């Protein structure tokens, strides 16, 4: 059977209509991430880009779900002081004004970092660099004085790997280890009400890097260097999964007498695996009383800095993903499973090979509704070239231009009761490749 081109032609006309259906998803949860987190005494934030605030679905999702905002790039040195003593706050102000107008708190990110650092900073000699660093901290913090809940004063100052050493940067190389302490002292003077954080990645479990940060924080606390919080970026994927000692690591820092915050959470993946990982991260924060809030690194997969890894809670159409339900459930909200009705439409997609022969196989995907009835669903199946789908049943597929990615929707009625399942199937010609197809996230409305 060669139904592929027939189906492509037959479904082309439906594409526009089904895309609209997906975009029209609205969360009907009686609860939101922000309100559920507030019920646990915590904020739930997102990284926000000024450039997307004009997109109504972006702003609506942000405003509905989140109680904290972190400007994703707008407060970095290259954005705020691109030339020496020439400060520009236009984009950062847009994010802060929007967030404050919605009653959100704002995380300031970030004052001293080796990256997104204009080249003029790196060419200064030591004494001048010290002046420029302290001036930058003072000017930016003064502009936002009273508006910022927590500042990432220093970002990513330690090396990856087993050395536990400081990372090379203009600040480290010219000012030595003491630049971090100096930055925190300057920051405290500039805005005494802001919590001052050290922020880093690959510090999420106990390892040489986090041990080095731990030793620094311990030393700061012992000597009275002003530090209030440690940020754990928490960028996870299959190569860097949520560590099994994540909670224990948060706790050991908290035990030093600082707050801990999850500052840039994103977890690449889809479906149940991604949802489970998200739920675990939220559970770890809730189990640590000084874990005061969680920020995910973006509102929608569409604009994620790792959008190929679909690492966030809302898909490109702003539909809540299974990960969203898992987070809401972990926060004690009513949308994801604890609730009893009124929840957010959600589904999962799982793959199984139902038959195999020399040069082909049949794949079967099971779609299961979440804890709320759904009226339709969408998922993707990605083949490894040169495999080709030669037949499909019980679904309405469309293909991307490569012919490898099949977006699948119900063939007729996509309604499923809460927890109910349906299946669709397809035949694949292996063409020499034994790869197993990858099934993407399931989204429902
Ligand atoms: C990223 C932004 O998301 C991107 O838009 C930008 O191009 C690069 O920086 N650690 C951090 C964040 O502290 O500032 C980074 O944000 C992601 C890694």
Specify the pLDDT at position 346.
86
Set 74, 156, 182, 268: catalytic member:
156
Give the pair of three-digit tokens for residue 119. Answer: 């080249």
**Residue 182 designated active-site:** no
- Decide whether any atom of ligand 1 lies within 6 Å of the 117 Cβ: no
pLDDT for res 343: 65
Q: Decide if 415 contacts 347 (C-beta within 8 A).
A: no
Please check whether residue 68 is in contact with residue 295, taking contact to mean a CB–CB distance below 8 angstroms. yes
pLDDT at 402: 85
DSSP E strand stretches across 49-149: 68-71, 105-112
The pTM is what?
0.72
User: How far does residue 47's CA lie from ligand 1's centre (Å)?
Assistant: 10
Give the pLDDT score at 34.
Answer: 97
Residue 113: strand, helix, or coil: coil
- Ligand 1 neighbour 51 (Cβ under 6 A): no
User: Which of 70, 71, 72, 303 is the best mutation target for the ligand 1 pocket, counting ligand atoms within 8 Å of the beta carbon and taking the most?
Assistant: 72
**In 3-state terms, what secondary structure has residue 302?**
helix
Q: What is the DSSP secondary-structure string of 162-202? A: SS-PBPP-HHHHHH-THHHHHHHHHHHHH-TTSEEEEEESS
Q: What is the model's pLDDT at position 12?
A: 38
Q: Is 394 left (phi over 0), alpha (psi -120 to 50) or beta?
A: left
Q: Give me the pLDDT at residue 298, please.
A: 98
For atom 7 of ligand 1, which residue has the closest CA?
A: 305
Catalytic residue status for 264: yes
Question: Buried (b) or exposed (e) across 100-113, using 16+ Cβ within 10 A?
Answer: eeeebbbbbbbbbb
CA distance 213 to 221: 12
CA-closest candidate to residue 205, choices 240, 243, 238? 243
Nearest to 61 by CA among 20, 93, 102, 107: 102
CA of 78 to the centre of ligand 1 (A): 13
Whether ligand 1 lies within 6 angstroms of the CB of 307 is answered as no
User: In a structure prediction context, what are the per-residue pLDDT tens digits for the chain, which is 445 residues long?
Assistant: 344 444 443 443 333 333 333 333 333 343 999 999 999 999 999 999 999 999 999 999 999 999 999 999 999 999 999 999 999 999 999 999 999 999 999 999 999 999 999 999 999 999 999 999 999 999 999 999 999 999 999 999 999 999 999 999 999 999 999 999 999 999 999 999 999 999 999 999 999 999 999 999 999 999 999 999 999 999 999 999 999 999 999 999 999 999 999 999 999 999 999 999 999 999 999 999 999 999 999 999 999 999 999 999 999 999 999 999 999 999 998 754 333 334 678 888 888 888 989 999 999 999 888 877 788 999 999 998 999 999 999 998 998 888 889 999 998 888 887 777 889 999 999 999 988 888 888 899 8
Tokens of 118: 């204009």
Asked, as a colleague might, if the bond just before 110 is cis with ω within 30 of 0, I would say: yes
Residue nearest to atom 9 of ligand 1 (CA): 73
Contact 409/376 with Cβ under 8 angstroms? yes
Give the other-Cβ count within 10 Å of 266's Cβ.
26
């Amino acid at each position: 059977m060669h139904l592929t081109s027939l189906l492509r032609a037959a479904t082309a006309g439906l594409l526009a209509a089904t895309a609209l259906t997906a975009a029209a998803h609205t969360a009907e949860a009686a609860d939101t991430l922000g309100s559920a987190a507030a019920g646990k005494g915590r904020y739930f934030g997102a990284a926000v880009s000024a450039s997307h605030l004009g997109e109504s679905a972006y702003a609506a999702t942000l405003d509905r779900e989140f109680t904290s905002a972190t400007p994703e790039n707008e407060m970095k040195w290259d954005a705020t002081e691109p030339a020496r003593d020439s400060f520009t706050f236009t984009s950062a102000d847009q994010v802060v004004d929007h967030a404050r107008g919605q009653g959100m708190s704002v995380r300031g990110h970030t004052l001293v970092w080796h990256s997104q650092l204009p080249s003029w900073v790196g060419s200064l000699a030591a004494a001048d660099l010290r002046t420029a660093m302290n001036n930058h901290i003072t000017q930016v913090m003064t502009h936002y004085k009273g508006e910022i809940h927590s500042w990432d004063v220093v970002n990513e100052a330690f090396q990856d790997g087993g050395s536990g050493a400081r990372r090379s940067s203009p600040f480290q190389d010219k000012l030595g280890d003491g630049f971090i302490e100096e930055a925190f002292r300057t920051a405290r003077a500039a805005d005494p009400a802001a919590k001052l954080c050290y922020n880093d990645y690959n510090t999420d479990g106990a390892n040489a890097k986090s041990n080095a940060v731990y030793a620094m924080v311990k030393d700061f606390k012992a000597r009275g260097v002003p530090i209030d919080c440690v940020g754990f970026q928490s960028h996870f994927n299959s190569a860097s999964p949520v560590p099994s000692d994540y909670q224990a690591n948060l706790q050991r820092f908290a035990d030093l007498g600082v707050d801990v915050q999850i500052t840039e959470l994103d977890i690449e993946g889809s479906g149940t695996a991604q949802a489970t990982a998200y739920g675990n991260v939220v559970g770890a924060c809730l189990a640590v009383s000084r874990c005061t809030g969680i920020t995910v690194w973006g509102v929608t997969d569409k604009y994620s800095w790792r959008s190929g890894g679909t690492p966030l809670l809302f898909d490109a159409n702003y539909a809540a993903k299974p990960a969203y339900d898992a987070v809401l459930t972990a926060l004690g909200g009513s949308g994801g499973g604890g609730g009893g009705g009124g929840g957010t439409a959600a589904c999962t997609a799982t793959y199984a090979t139902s038959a195999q022969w020399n040069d082909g196989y049949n794949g079967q995907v099971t779609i299961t509704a979440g804890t709320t009835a759904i009226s339709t669903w969408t998922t993707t199946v990605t083949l490894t070239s040169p495999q080709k789908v030669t037949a499909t049943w019980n679904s309405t597929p469309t293909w991307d231009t490569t012919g490898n990615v099949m977006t699948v929707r119900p063939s007729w009625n996509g309604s499923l009761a809460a927890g109910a399942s349906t299946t669709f199937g397809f035949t694949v010609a292996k063409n020499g490749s034994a790869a197993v197809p990858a099934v993407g996230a399931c989204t429902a409305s």
